[in-house]
Structure 1
Amino acid sequence: MNSRIRAKLLPFAIASLLATAVPAIAQDTSSSISGRVLDANGQPVAGATVQIVHEPSGTTKIATTDASGRYAAQGLRVGGPFDVTVSKAGMAQAEQGQVYLQLAQETPVNLTIGAEQAKDVQNLSGVTVSANALAQTFSSDNKGISTNVSQRELEATPTPGRSIQNIVRLDPRIVISDRDRGEISAIGQNSRYNNITVDSVSANDPFGLNANGLPTLGTPISQDTIQEYNISTANYDVATRRGVGAIVNAVTKSGTNDFHGSAYYAFQNRDQMIADYNGQPYGGFRRTWTAGATVGGPIIKDKLFFFASYEKSKQIGPSSQYGVQGSGATTEIRGLTQQNVADITAAAKAKGLGDVGGLNGGSSDLQDKRYLAKIDWNITNNHRASFTYSQTKENKPIITGNNNTLVLSSGWYKTQVDNKSYALHFYDDWSDVFSTDTTISYADFQQNRGPYNGTPMPDVSVCVNSVNGCGSTSSSSPGVEFGTEYSSQANVLHVKTLNAAWAGTLYLGDHTVKGGFDFQRGQYYNLFLQNAFGSYQFNNLADFNAGKYYLYRFNTPAAGLGLSDVAANFELKEYGLFLQDTWQVNSNLSVQYGFRVDIPLTSDRPLYNPCYAAAPGQAVIAANCVSPQGGFGRTNVSTINGNRQVQPRASFNYTFDTERMTQLRGGAGLFISNPPSVWLGNIYQNSGVTQVQFACGPSSSASAACKPGSVGYPVFSTDPNGQNAGSAPIPGAKGAQMAVSTVSDNFQIPSVWKMSLGFDRELPWWGVVFSADYEHIKNRNAIWYQNLNIGAPTGVLPDGRFTYYKNPKGGSTGNTSRANANPAFGDAVINLANSDQGSADSLSLALKKPFADEWSAMAGFTWSRATEVNPGTSSVARSSYSNNVWVNPNENKASTSSYSIPKRVIASLTWQHRFFGDYATSATVFYDGHSGTPYSWRYGNDANGDGFTSDLAYIPNKGDISFAPGTTQALQDSFWQYIDNDKYLKDHKGAIASRNGARAAWINQVDLSFSQEIPGLFKGNKGMLRLDVYNLGNMLNKKWGVDHRASFPLVRNLADFAGVDAAGKPIYDISKAAYKDSNGNYSPLPLPRADELNGPTQRWSILATVRYTF
């Protein structure tokens, strides 16, 4: 085709957008085509037949144009190529081939029939291949902000971890905020708020225990099964259920009319393929490998197809690094001999504990098995169905120990996960103007944490020679620990989820109306009872033989209750209704508006706690609790039942009449999140009256001395199911204090308002598209954890904050914290409420060149800011509260988000060439540079007496403070010198540090993939050799690619607060080793810590892959 005709046809074939857009269905598993058919005079052709054929499978859709010449087809397979043919009696046929479709996106295909020009359309294959990306970008359906990752891009992208994290980072607005934990954050939002689906089935952590938001430590599904990803931060379609964080939607591959498959093996070992860091070898896994196979093809040609895969991954972990003195182990425990171990294990056997294990024969291998099977059925030309079965099984042993305690194999534990899902989809065109999409899915998730050797027994620690128990520091007496680890004695999770969704689309001329419903029923059972088998500590072997324990803890269901009553055992149903209209105002403007309603319903309530509900000062003596000073005057049985949220949304797309494709798009709407169910589960587990906690010993939660055999004190028992604890709290022990978790009466699932505006422009070179996107997020119902049992303040400290110590001017040593708190309750009376504080903004600029002429490229820059009240970093209510920092507790004040990465630059370049026949040589370089993580300067102890080490530090000027007695002048001088040399501290002297006000250094990371195809054994087969290099820059310079992050939860300690002196000045104690370097100068814990530098993400590594395809 000559350039004159080409220039004439392209604006029509691509830019002339259809008058009726097909809205993408949220968490869609399909694609769509729509367009308009005109005659030679530019007039609409009614009654024309449009045939859409997926060439690899023969899947066919038939549509008929309406009076305006419009047609649409939904429920199509992702990918292609497709062939689109239009015909009408008495008019010349028109055809367009080589059409490729993207997941959850509409591709416009407009055709002219009845003219000589129409004959040329079928020869547009070269044009449509290069222009297909333009057609999908410049579409009236493109109203929000999203990134599609095609099969070609998936194959080219460096994936050294073979994980979802390697893929989502291709969107400039999404960052891996913690590389070691795999946290995925979109515009500074909590990683637990992401909504990740595969074939419309949730791939999120179903309960919310994992920081990465995924159900397993490894990837939940084999990346070799994925056909395409759609990643969005703003999708205004009302069928979108969860949209606060990133919406990551993936669809798996399907079979075709040809048999295709692959077998692969990926390998990495630490000795040759993972770098040292400053001479420090990697101390994690010894090697890791993944082996798998895929196969797909026809069962009945053009009718019924299958696709299946199996993958196994194994990470060979180290055996125990701990050993007795002189053993040659990586960590030798000073003062502990082999004879000590032999004597203690012999005594344990004599007491009937049996084999308590040793250090040999154990491993910490992480093993994953992933299965997938899929059936696609072309029922008729206008009805299609698919069924997907997926299962992931994971087993992770944990070898425990510390620098002072040798833990035998009976004290190790393992976590086992079994995650199964079933999904059935129907795609139906009932007429030319009405189509439906129906999905039914079921998921069964089980996670068990139990003893490594499978034998339950009490947790027992025996010190060598101590008077105050074993410890983890070198100054403590060494010891030996065995028996079931205290948090693994009753730890079971089972979640069953049923989902159903139906959406109907009705085409009414210029309007496309979509309505439907979705439903989810989650059944949750989480048993987590620490010390259920009992936990003992003995000062020496003689005490162990005599059964004279120094410390004892035992938790058991309250009288008349069983384990099921201790567990969070509840059902939550969520109903969603939605309605939307898409109005094609004219050929340039498309407007979409609608709403959805989400209603959570549950009839399950926590067990009522009359002590908690009592008015303050009203004494309560009940069957399951005692509180002489009353409670908090509020109920503990509130849930989210019936707290519906109505979410209006509107969006638009405007196409400019310009020679080069240009469009403006935007929208606004309300979105709810996908909150961790464990946050709601806390209220069932922590009612304060379902379990009895027995404790005696020297800790703050169990201050009474242990008297084994005395009244109220049980004798030592080796039977995990026969701990003789009685039914009443130990006299004088603080272990009987109640811990209660609640939600406010009107608590709403977290929600945000979103607004975005985007601009796209085709540039005159190589099909490059420039995009600019602005997005604003405003919290409507954020999370706000409150501690209700701090008590009234007792005074004010010199920097203006309240103090809760009995002696307001005293430090933490020998002082009583929470002096006015209710003594019947502990420090974990936590209420989850909503806050409207916090927001985020993001501005992204991007350039993208689609693959053509052997190369593709992309570059993007994002500036963002995000604030929050609470980062929600934990599955435990108390930890979610305490993993924060503040000036005064319970502040409803937004500050920099823990997930905020203000600046990010990404770029990639892919090159491919066939040097040897049809065997491609490919290389891709991906660069990710971004700001470091934020952190807070706090005190290293409890400064204000609220019971938590969460107090933001005052950054002093000289003369503002005094130092603890014994602080040398040299140490004081180095303290002031350090402050003057640290930019943040220097700029904020005379003020209390801001939460997340400081920030770690910029991170530069470069990843590389290189692959070479080679001849296969048979015709049409190919082999491939591939190398993925992670953190390539670190190979060139050991300082590059290192994440200089602060310790979790992103804090650094400035000093210990030691009280107020006679002059009214704060007293700072910097005498601890944690505040000094090897020369005795002031130096708080550096960034990064030495143990964090030992992680695999802090150094370069190589993953080698061998693949065979047919």
Structure 2
Amino acid sequence: MIKRLLLAAILTSLSWAGFADTDTTATLKGSVNASSGKVTIVYEPTGLTKTGSIGSDGNFSFSFLPVGGPYTVTVTSDGYKPATAEDIYLAIYQNTPLRFSLASAGAMEEVVVTGTKIADAQGFGTGTTLDRQAIEAVPTVERSIADYARMDPRVNINAASSRSLEISAMGANNRFNDFQIDGVSFNDPFGLNANGFGTMRNPVSMDFIDQIAVDLTPYDVTRGNATGASISVVTKSGSNEFDGSIYYTKRDESQVGDQPNGNAFPPFSEDITSVTLSGPIIKDTLFFFLGYEEFNREEPYNYGPKGSGALNESEAATAAIFQTIADIAQNTYGFDPGGFENLSFPETHKEYTGKLTYNLNDYNRFELNYSNSKDSLAQGVNLNTFENTIYTKPPEITRYSATWYGDLTDQLRVKAKYTNYELKEDDSSAGGTFPEVRVTYDDGMGNSDDIYLGGEKYRAVNFINVTSDFFTLKFDYDMGEHLLTAGLDYEKSTVVNEFLARYNGEVRFDSIADFAAGNWAYLRFQVPTAGLNEVGSTAANFDVKKTTLYAQDVWSVNSDLTLQFGLRWDKLKTPTSPAVNPAFETAYGFTNAQQFDYSVLQPRFSFELALPPSINLIESATLRGGIGLFLGRFPNVWLGNAYSRPGPLSDYPSFTNTDPAIGPMPAAGAYADSPRFFWLLNPSSTYTIAPPGSSSSSQYVDPDFEGPSSWRTNLAVDMWLAGDYQVSVEVNHDQVNKALAYEDPGLTKTGTLADGRGTYSTSGSLGLTNTNDGRATAFTFSVRKTFFDSLNVMAAYTHTSADDVWDLTSSQAESSYGYQQRWDGDHLGATTSQYEIEHRFIATMDYTIQLFGNNDTRFALVFNRQSGEPYSVTFDNGRNSITGASGFYGGYDLAYIPSGVSDPNVQFANAAAAQNIMQYIDGSNLAAYKGTYVPRDAFRDPWQTRLDLRITQEIRFPQFAEAIGENRAIIYFDIVNLGNLLDSGSGIVKRHDFNTSAQIITNGTTSDGKFIVTGIDEDDSLKTESDVGQSSWQMRLGFKYEF
């Protein structure tokens, strides 16, 4: 039989494939037209060799293999010529089909079968995998994992950077993603960061990564935490060759285009150094990989006073106003608030990693991993802020893991793994314990600003320590047609969180004059009931234990059909209860001291079927899909609220209008360290700390609470068309089984407003509970084609429709509850999710040519166009909810749209205002809702368009090959937002803060419930994103030397 490339035949055969377990190893399974014999596989980089038997049904499998390759697979059987498959590469979470048709012993030639590329492999579910070659083709300035995750058309990233970056899949909350490095959870273990990572920026250097996988329906029961995107990376390992790399890049404002307002981008600096080294310690036996990366950046703060030329200027406050406030703070209160113009935020990141791989023999392999990262990120609080209100987040993460992979018999294989993970973070603000002060300035012409100084209100006491231990035991048993899997995962996390919101106090002044006089309009603070200095007494300190059992059967029915059946059982429990608040139980009839204790059984089924060609145009096709229940992860901080705010441990009052019990904020000198903690330390204050149990206010967990879970399903057709076009059509649907929600057990309706919504009083108690409402559907079409063996082109479109009930945008229960856009109390139904991107187009081009010598020149383009995020139109009623409920935050009541100047539900400020307001409404998209309220997230931010370019030039040095082996230099030239370089009006990113636009200005309601409408704010909260140059072109020039 002639030697030949069997790529198309392999794709149509679809015998079982390579899929990864939670530790991102791979399983290779194939079939042979023989009923006995041996199969030998060799992992060429390390010489790892394994030998197994062909079953009586002709099937074979190998488990717990390193991903990547190349592998060489050799099959021998009596009466047949040996057959060899070369260049086999195994991808995480994808099938790498392999089938042997042996020639009889009398045939003249040996058969050689060549395996598929990673990009050609498929799996049951939905996702995208990038190997190292694909990773190198993605333009990036941030060098963030998000830049690669967005290669899946169902995944969206916002335009932010570092901890503010958000990754969302199919309209799901960005905090529901699961991120793993070498099978170890690297999620933010407490849950404060929008990016979902424990680190401030990328949790692992891109130079350490070998493969990236993004999955939305990981049907394999070994995988959990999947109600968002499941993102996994496999880091590089050592081999029998010594390899290394040194990467360096530096950039500043000269490599960023002008801001959208025409001003030059503010000065900043950034540099990255990355080093890797790997190789053998003992050839074919012991290998190492080492990596180090350092990142430093001074990030400009693109906000400033009116007239300053900053990208985002204050509406009313000029530099003179800021200076007046600074003088009062310094001269009256003895506090230097720092500067207020041309501010910058330093950010640093250092990361170390090491991996040892030990091939004891052909049956046992061990792996040791270590990593440590230290970050420091300074951040501002609000638009109008002084320098010393900036706060710093300095997390440190350390991870150890040890893994054993063993072949107990030809059929039974085992993996055992232990991991220890620890996060420490002690936040601080430059303002220390000086109260956070907010001064409102109104210029008398309808423009106002809130200006902040002092210590940031959430940083005076804010310490986190999370220590987690993970243990995994997994068995694979090969029965030929059936590959059985069973296993156990156990996780224990100890969470310590010392957090007292407003420990230093939040003080609001309605004017500069009030600030000078100390006459505050609002004061809120939190103090331990054990005493001012006993902050440790309020710490949340609890364990979270999670146990997982699973079993699965992968059944190779025949060469065309593979079925996968599985069950996964997760149990989560917190062994200790929060502190008891007897007053809460008296008020509501159940205790606040509820433990988290629930379990979920998750059935899953998936299939992959090779379809016979139906028309000449289709050369081969695969139908794949499945359905399953997936229990998701959610931030531990949402559990921790019940432990940190049970009620008896702290007093958390609020006061208004310079309450005489406390008196004005005193000037410096009134007492030692005045005015810090003036509500307790000022001699004129009569406030005393409330004793434990004097308030029924508690945060708690619904006794029937269950973690978030969704039924997820997909159905897809993958086709090879004539001309080597690869076309996929896929539909995904998620249906909420349990979603998270908040409730106020003491919410009381006190009246009814003119449009039918109620007025309410809130109790201050909040419970974490469930809703069964919510869904998402995504339709995706993609096509890819390779031209001339050197030009790869891909285009995809996804339409997503996603509904949810709660946005869950905050770490604190109080904020998540208060910042929820609502019409009538807690009567919330599922409406458009603020994370939904309705339309997304993505196209890529990757072209390689050798312009001189044997050196590759590579051009890569990524084009993205997508609809904007949804946002809600609300009332602007100042800091108070128009319904009167203190637990509902001002600016989050969905707006009623007047039907006309004579609308009986509205009282306009005057006739002129009525005419102007209705003229604006009639000419805007609000007109569709006249006479009713605007539903949540009814409108869309502007579309976003971005074109990115990467040019890579390698320069080989063959003259050094004899001494150090193959070596080369690589020059990376990246331009993101190339369209903005060509047209300054292109590539602008605009969005509404917190997906809310308080456009209808009100001054409360009349005694009979009519809305007093005074004006319109057409672009409330709409801002141009450019903190890190999102709305400008940016470039990066990087240099790497590899050997």
Question: What's the TM-score, normalizing by structure 1?
Answer: 0.84
Amino acid at match of 1:788: P
Tell whether the 8 Å contact from 1:32 to 1:107 is kept in structure 2 after alignment.
no
Q: CA deviation at 1:656?
A: 2.0
The answer to whether the aligner puts 1:1084 opposite 2:1018 as a matched pair is yes
Instruction: Give the aligned partner of residue 917 of structure 1.
Output: 853
Amino acid at match of 1:514: T
Q: In the superposition, relative to structure 1, how do residues 120 and 634 fare at CA in structure 2: closer, same or farther (>3 Å)?
A: farther
* Cα distance per residue 1:75-125 (max 9 Å; x no partner): 222222211122246643221212222123342322244537987666555
- After superposition, residues 630-1029 of structure 1 pair within 5 angstroms as 631-641=587-597, 643-658=598-613, 660-693=619-652, 698=657, 704=661, 706=663, 717=673, 730=686, 739-766=697-724, 768-794=725-751, 796-804=752-760, 818=761, 825=763, 828-849=764-785, 853-941=789-877, 942-947=881-886, 948=888, 949=890, 950-958=892-900, 959-961=902-904, 966-967=909-910, 969=912, 971-983=913-925, 985-1016=926-957, 1018-1019=960-961, 1020-1029=966-975
Secondary structure of the structure 2 residue equivalent to 1:991: coil
Tell whether the 8 Å contact from 2:440 to 2:451 is kept in structure 1 after alignment.
no
CA distance in 2, matches of 1:483, 1:772: 55
The answer to whether the aligner puts 1:490 opposite 2:433 as a matched pair is no
Instruction: Give the aligned partner of residue 170 of structure 2.
Output: 187
Instruction: Give the aligned partner of residue 54 of structure 1.
Output: 43
- 2:126 equivalent among 126, 145, 167: 145
Secondary structure of the structure 1 residue equivalent to 2:993: coil
Tell whether the 8 Å contact from 2:711 to 2:736 is kept in structure 1 after alignment.
yes
Secondary structure of the structure 2 residue equivalent to 1:92: coil
Q: In the superposition, relative to structure 1, how do residues 882 and 106 fare at CA in structure 2: closer, same or farther (>3 Å)?
A: same
Amino acid at match of 1:372: T
* Cα distance per residue 1:410-459 (max 9 Å; x no partner): x5432111011112222222222111222221110111112449xx5544
The answer to whether the aligner puts 1:556 opposite 2:527 as a matched pair is yes
- After superposition, residues 373-392 of structure 1 pair within 5 angstroms as 373-392=354-373
Instruction: Give the aligned partner of residue 27 of structure 1.
Output: 22
CA distance in 2, matches of 1:574, 1:651: 26
CA distance in 2, matches of 1:1060, 1:342: 40
* Cα distance per residue 1:244-296 (max 9 Å; x no partner): 1111111000111111111111233223423321313334x612221111111
Q: In the superposition, relative to structure 1, how do residues 551 and 510 fare at CA in structure 2: closer, same or farther (>3 Å)?
A: closer
CA distance in 1, matches of 2:45, 2:787: 21
Tell whether the 8 Å contact from 1:1043 to 1:1088 is kept in structure 2 after alignment.
no
Range that drifts further, 106-115 or 661-670:
106-115
CA distance in 2, matches of 1:400, 1:527: 21
Q: CA deviation at 1:724?
A: 5.1
Secondary structure of the structure 2 residue equivalent to 1:565: helix
The answer to whether the aligner puts 1:250 opposite 2:233 as a matched pair is yes
Instruction: Give the aligned partner of residue 179 of structure 2.
Output: 196
Tell whether the 8 Å contact from 2:777 to 2:802 is kept in structure 1 after alignment.
yes
Tell whether the 8 Å contact from 2:30 to 2:98 is kept in structure 1 after alignment.
yes
Instruction: Give the aligned partner of residue 99 of structure 1.
Output: 88
CA distance in 1, matches of 2:746, 2:197: 34
Range that drifts further, 320-329 or 265-274:
320-329
- 1:1105 equivalent among 1035, 1038, 1041: 1038
- After superposition, residues 114-263 of structure 1 pair within 5 angstroms as 114-115=103-104, 128=115, 131-133=116-118, 136-137=121-122, 142-177=123-158, 179=160, 181-263=164-246
The answer to whether the aligner puts 1:1069 opposite 2:1014 as a matched pair is yes
Amino acid at match of 1:521: K
Instruction: Give the aligned partner of residue 1005 of structure 2.
Output: 1059
Amino acid at match of 1:136: A
- After superposition, residues 452-491 of structure 1 pair within 5 angstroms as 452=430, 457-459=433-435, 470-471=439-440, 484-491=455-462
- 1:602 equivalent among 544, 553, 574: 574
CA distance in 2, matches of 1:508, 1:327: 71
Instruction: Give the aligned partner of residue 1096 of structure 1.
Output: 1029
Q: CA deviation at 1:716?
A: 5.7
The answer to whether the aligner puts 1:436 opposite 2:421 as a matched pair is no
Tell whether the 8 Å contact from 2:354 to 2:370 is kept in structure 1 after alignment.
yes
CA distance in 1, matches of 2:326, 2:728: 66
Q: In the superposition, relative to structure 1, how do residues 1028 and 544 fare at CA in structure 2: closer, same or farther (>3 Å)?
A: closer
The answer to whether the aligner puts 1:576 opposite 2:548 as a matched pair is yes
CA distance in 1, matches of 2:931, 2:514: 54
Q: In the superposition, relative to structure 1, how do residues 792 and 1104 fare at CA in structure 2: closer, same or farther (>3 Å)?
A: same
* Cα distance per residue 1:1052-1103 (max 9 Å; x no partner): 42332642487x8543221xxxx3xxxxxxx52268425x456521222112
Amino acid at match of 1:933: E
CA distance in 1, matches of 2:868, 2:495: 37
Q: CA deviation at 1:975?
A: 2.4
Q: CA deviation at 1:850?
A: 5.8
CA distance in 2, matches of 1:986, 1:792: 30
- Unaligned regions of 5+ residues in structure 1, if any? 39-43, 462-468, 615-630, 805-817, 1076-1082
Tell whether the 8 Å contact from 1:112 to 1:118 is kept in structure 2 after alignment.
no
Tell whether the 8 Å contact from 2:299 to 2:1028 is kept in structure 1 after alignment.
no
Range that drifts further, 604-613 or 428-437:
428-437
Q: CA deviation at 1:367?
A: 0.6
Q: CA deviation at 1:66?
A: 1.5
The answer to whether the aligner puts 1:449 opposite 2:431 as a matched pair is no
Instruction: Give the aligned partner of residue 1048 of structure 1.
Output: 994
Q: In the superposition, relative to structure 1, how do residues 666 and 694 fare at CA in structure 2: closer, same or farther (>3 Å)?
A: closer
Tell whether the 8 Å contact from 2:82 to 2:111 is kept in structure 1 after alignment.
no
CA distance in 1, matches of 2:489, 2:909: 67
- After superposition, residues 516-535 of structure 1 pair within 5 angstroms as 516-532=487-503
Q: In the superposition, relative to structure 1, how do residues 318 and 421 fare at CA in structure 2: closer, same or farther (>3 Å)?
A: same
Number of equivalenced pairs: 1013
CA distance in 2, matches of 1:679, 1:782: 13
Secondary structure of the structure 2 residue equivalent to 1:901: coil
CA distance in 2, matches of 1:521, 1:334: 55
Q: CA deviation at 1:773?
A: 1.2
Tell whether the 8 Å contact from 1:670 to 1:751 is kept in structure 2 after alignment.
yes
Q: CA deviation at 1:989?
A: 2.3
Tell whether the 8 Å contact from 1:335 to 1:478 is kept in structure 2 after alignment.
no
CA distance in 2, matches of 1:213, 1:777: 21
Instruction: Give the aligned partner of residue 588 of structure 1.
Output: 560
Tell whether the 8 Å contact from 1:282 to 1:1094 is kept in structure 2 after alignment.
no
Tell whether the 8 Å contact from 2:492 to 2:545 is kept in structure 1 after alignment.
yes
The answer to whether the aligner puts 1:110 opposite 2:105 as a matched pair is no
CA distance in 2, matches of 1:33, 1:497: 32
CA distance in 2, matches of 1:198, 1:568: 28
CA distance in 2, matches of 1:336, 1:847: 55
Instruction: Give the aligned partner of residue 485 of structure 2.
Output: 514
Q: In the superposition, relative to structure 1, how do residues 423 and 1096 fare at CA in structure 2: closer, same or farther (>3 Å)?
A: same
Query: What's the Cα RMSD here?
Result: 3.8
